[in-house]
Amino acid sequence: MFVNRRTVRIEWGDCDAAGIVYYPRYFEMFDASTTHLFEMAGFPKRQAQARFGIVGWPMLDTRANFKIPSSFGDDILIESRIGRWGRSSFDVEHLVFKGQAVAIEAWEKRVWAAKDPEDPTRIKSIPIPDEVIARLSAS
């Protein structure tokens, strides 16, 4: 299975008054990590939009299990992979490591979406191309 790993330095602005990462900042990191996952598999977002006629892969649902806090100056490693493919939706799994320990387990449900041809002010799910699934499912 294709896995993307990226190191993120926790910045001062990521932290709350208690000195730990304010939890919504992690969800921004996960969103960016999903984009990096597709980019590293050969599907940068702008190119995927043009090539497949999509608006992107918007979020349907997200959740996380926070185990170990991080604070200013910490380096964390985010590992991202596709956990499950559907016809037009997919699940992304993120593991955040602080050192060797798992600090966060997070999940996203996303949809492969294009403008609705019947109402261009709306979007609708469309089938995920086999090529995308194959590349992101490869080891």
Q: Any idea which residues carry the catalytic annotation?
A: 16
Who's near 9: CB < 8 A, 6+ residues apart? 73, 74, 75
Residue indicated by tokens 């918007």: 58
Residue 40: what are its φ and ψ, rounded to 5°? -70, -20
Sign of CA dihedral 110, 113, 89, 43: negative
Angle at 69 between CA 65 and CA 73, to 5 degrees: 135
